[in-house]
């Protein structure tokens, strides 16, 4: 596991690129505190920071082919590298290390860009191909490892995080105002765009080539997520259970490979318990498990985790946090999170993820997680909502169906506060059930409903940014939305493609790497994903039972109470915090005279009214306030202060190494 970065600037001498590449990798020291390496050539510089996992003593990067014509830096793990290495040696390749990185160099030497299709794992890779005078970048199929790039003139910059690019060229810190639309509606900016106008994400399952002589850039997919059943519906459930059991067992087993201590995140839910069960079955002893315990019922899953830990006899570690613990450090933590994301990020579960990663890193370097189970197996209430909407729309219109939401909403006014909130929610569900699928799907997951969107933005900005949210969606997403496949299948595709790839995995990567912790996700093995995505929706959502086929498969391994456990998110009491410990910070950033929200875009009076309504308990606006707070904090750190180099480079190095110095920021020839 590493952080990688680099630059291509044709004609620039290596001596002028050295300081640029070192600055870029210094900004990524938290991703790889154990080692560093640089390759320099005419107009090309590759760099990396290493977190040593496999071949600790001999796995330094960059790594080259035998003749030196292929140079590789790599972030991630290749789980089938031993199999690939054996085949390559039989074909005459000579290896100097036992690392998976060297396998990539030899495989590329033989296969070119077709090499990436043979890799099984998580990765962001940069290859300098001297023979063909091109730089090649590639990213894993599900997007577990990030990779960003920016092109200006003949110069191409890339890095595992945006901060590496900004450290090389701070003038790229120009916001894309249109990106605010999708951010407010989805909580993130969908790939390939970022919140910076000239910086792009390399999409998952894609490679990029930059040709040295012409400056031509091409981006192409090498794998696509598919929901075509390919005849899977004709198989019996017993056959599916048998194959799913084998795939789960293999996906976990190959991810236990490590030369450093390894553990498992355990919430007590179905997904993380599945990982513990198969790790136990694979013979891992002792299993180190990690859980956060909270002092508030409703968001404390530690008793459920204890049940699983006792069942498998794990070496269980629990971090107990009170609301007071959280609230005391919240303002500083928010700024820390923004620095690690480099973009505004709307998922508040980043807070507990940050803390549980910190706990785990005190004991292990590698962690397995259950990420992906809800998205693959229809684990969210969203899927039951889609089923409900399908049934509700079958109610004949002559019954007065369209008046039901208003009747429930009017009746809610006579109820006490708790039941009133539930009744109003029910009225909204009934009303939303009449909407087209696309509207229902994005309304369900959006913290910023249309009325609030119009309230907090100026009229001109609301009109412009509302359309930008749709324009930012990738072609494959829009294609599925327009297709005639069943609505549950559409939702499952979007759950993986958007909620998982653009939100969940971004959160897990940044929060774990903030503590130099590698996270592996067995449920996202691409062979397992291929299999599960082709299963009929009825095998996942059986009546009102979510994750049905997964429950059938793991029933023999986990405690009965785990199978009966209700779905519980990794949540925090954001509503209360934004009326208490975070309210002052929100007010300072959002409604004070020097508000960080850009004028002409935001309606300051509307934002003030939003905060006041939330503070008085008249409405729960916590989701959108959190989005606004993160956006304002991001502007303060990256845009308005113009101290990008200090903010993104010095603070990161200090956080990991304690070094209070800031990397050399003198301009290098040819970078701008």
Known catalytic residues are 2
Query: Between 323-341 and 505-513, two packed helices, what is the crossing angle to 10 degrees?
Result: 100
CA dist 553 and 549 (Å) reads 6
What letters, b where the CB count within 10 A reaches 16 and e where it falls short, cover 94-125? eeebbbbbbbbbbbbbeeebebbeebbbbbbb
**Which two structure tokens, joined as six digits, stand for 47?**
């760099």
Angle between helices 323-341 and 583-590 (to 10 degrees): 30
- Exposure string over 269-306, b if 16+ CB within 10 A, otherwise e: bbbbbbbbbbbbebebeebbbbbbebeeeebbbbebbb
Contact present, 137 and 118 (Cβ < 8 Å): no
Say if CB 248 and CB 278 are below 8 A apart: yes
Contact, 372 vs 247, CB < 8 A? no
Residues with Cβ within 8 Å of 572's Cβ and at least 6 positions away in sequence, in order, are 299, 326, 348, 349, 351, 352
Host H or E run for residue 501: none
With H, G, I as helix, E, B as strand and everything else as coil, classify residue 402. helix
Token pair for 670: 């040819």
Distance CA 285, CA 303 (A): 22
- Max CA distance (Å), the chain: 80
567 contacts 379 by C-beta, under 8 angstroms: yes
Determine the Cα–Cα distance for residues 483 and 478; give it in Å rounded to an integer: 9
Dihedral sign, Cα of residue 225, residue 229, residue 232, residue 233? positive
Cα Rg of the chain, angstroms: 25
Query: In sequence order, which residues have a C-beta less than 8 Å from that of residue 234 and are 6 or more positions away?
Result: none
Place of tokens 């508030």: 296
Distance CA 11, CA 42 (A): 6
Taking Cα atoms as reference points, which of 397, 355, 342, 374 lies closest to residue 445? 374
Closest to 107 in 3D by CA, of 134, 86, 130, 79: 86
CB atoms within 10 A of CB 331: 18
Kind of pairing between the strands at 121-129 and 70-78? antiparallel
Tokens of 237: 């459930």
Taking 3-state DSSP, the helix, strand and coil percentages for the chain, each rounded to the nearest 5, stand at: 50, 15, 35
Tokens 């070192």 correspond to 22
The β-bridge partners of 77 are 122
Which residue from 119, 125, 103 is spatially nearest to 54, judged by alpha carbons? 103
3-state DSSP assignment of residue 530: helix
Paired with 289 in beta bridges are 264, 316
Query: Rounded to whole angstroms, how far apart are CA atoms 416 and 94?
Result: 75
- Best CA proximity match to 78, nearest among 63, 91, 92, 66: 63
Structure tokens at 3: 């952080």
**CB atoms near residue 552 (< 10 Å):** 18
């Amino acid at each position: 596991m590493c952080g990688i970065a680099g630059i291509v600037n044709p004609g620039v001498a290596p001596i002028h690129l050295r300081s640029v590449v070192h600055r870029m990798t210094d900004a990524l020291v938290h991703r790889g505190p154990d080692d560093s390496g640089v390759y320099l050539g005419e107009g090309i510089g590759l760099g990396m920071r290493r977190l040593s996992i496999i071949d600790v003593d001999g796995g330094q990067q960059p790594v080259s082919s035998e003749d030196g014509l292929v140079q590789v830096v790599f972030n991630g793990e290749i789980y089938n590298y031993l199999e690939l290495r054996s085949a390559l040696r039989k074909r005459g390749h000579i290896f100097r290390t036992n690392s998976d990185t060297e396998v990539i160099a030899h495989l590329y030497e033989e296969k070119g860009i077709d090499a990436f299709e043979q890799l099984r794992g998580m990765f962001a890779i940069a290859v300098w191909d001297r023979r063909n005078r091109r730089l090649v970048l590639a990213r894993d199929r599900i997007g577990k490892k990030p990779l960003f790039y920016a092109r200006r003139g003949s110069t191409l910059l890339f890095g595992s995080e945006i901060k590496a690019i900004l450290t090389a060229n701070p003038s790229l810190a120009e916001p894309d105002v249109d990106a605010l639309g999708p951010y407010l509606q989805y909580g993130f900016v969908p790939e390939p765009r970022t919140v910076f106008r000239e910086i792009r994400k390399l999409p998952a399952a894609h490679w990029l080539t930059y040709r040295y002589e012409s400056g031509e850039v091409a981006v192409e997919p090498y794998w696509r997520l598919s929901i075509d059943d390919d005849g899977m519906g004709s198989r019996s459930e017993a056959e599916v259970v048998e194959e799913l059991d084998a795939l789960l067992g293999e996906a976990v087993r190959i991810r236990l490979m490590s030369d450093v201590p390894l553990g498992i995140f355990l919430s007590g839910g179905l997904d993380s318990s599945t990982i513990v069960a198969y790790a136990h079955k694979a013979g891992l002893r002792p299993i180190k498990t990690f859980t956060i315990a909270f002092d508030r019922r409703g968001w404390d899953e530690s008793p459920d985790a204890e049940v699983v830990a006792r069942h498998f006899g794990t070496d269980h570690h629990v971090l107990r946090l009170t609301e007071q613990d959280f609230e005391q450090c919240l303002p500083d933590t928010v700024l820390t999170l923004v620095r690690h994301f480099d973009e505004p990020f709307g998922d508040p579960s980043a807070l507990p993820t940050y803390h549980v990663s910190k706990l785990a890193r005190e004991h292990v370097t590698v962690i397995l997680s259950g990420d992906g189970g809800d998205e693959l197996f229809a684990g969210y209430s969203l899927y039951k909502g889609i089923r409900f909407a399908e049934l509700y729309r079958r109610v004949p219109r002559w019954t007065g169906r369209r008046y039901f939401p208003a009747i429930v909403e009017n009746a809610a006014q006579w109820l006490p506060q708790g039941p009133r909130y539930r009744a109003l929610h029910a009225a909204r569900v009934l009303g939303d059930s009449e909407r087209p699928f696309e509207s229902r799907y994005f309304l369900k997951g959006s913290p910023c409903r249309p009325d609030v969107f119009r309230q907090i933005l100026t009229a001109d900005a609301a009109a412009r940014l509302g359309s930008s949210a749709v324009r930012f969606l990738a072609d494959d997403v829009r294609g599925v939305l327009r297709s005639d496949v069943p609505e549950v299948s559409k939702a499952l595709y979007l759950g993986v493609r958007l909620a998982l790839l653009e939100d969940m995995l971004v959160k897990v990567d940044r929060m774990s790497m903030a503590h130099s912790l590698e996270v592996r996700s067995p449920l996202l093995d691409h062979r397992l994903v291929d299999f599960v995505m082709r299963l009929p929706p009825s095998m996942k959502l059986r009546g009102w039972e979510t994750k049905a086929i997964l429950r059938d498969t793991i029933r023999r391994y986990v405690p009965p109470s785990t199978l009966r456990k209700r779905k519980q998110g990794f949540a925090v009491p954001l509503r209360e915090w934004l009326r208490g410990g975070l309210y002052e910070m929100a007010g300072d950033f959002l409604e004070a005279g020097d508000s960080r929200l850009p004028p002409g875009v935001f309606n300051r009076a509307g934002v003030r009214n939003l905060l006041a309504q939330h503070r008085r308990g008249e409405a729960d606006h916590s989701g959108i306030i959190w989005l606004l707070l993160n956006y304002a904090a991001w502007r303060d750190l990256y845009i308005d202060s113009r101290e990008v180099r200090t903010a993104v480079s010095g603070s990161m190095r200090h956080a990991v190494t304690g070094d209070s110095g800031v990397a050399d920021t003198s301009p290098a020839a040819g970078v701008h």
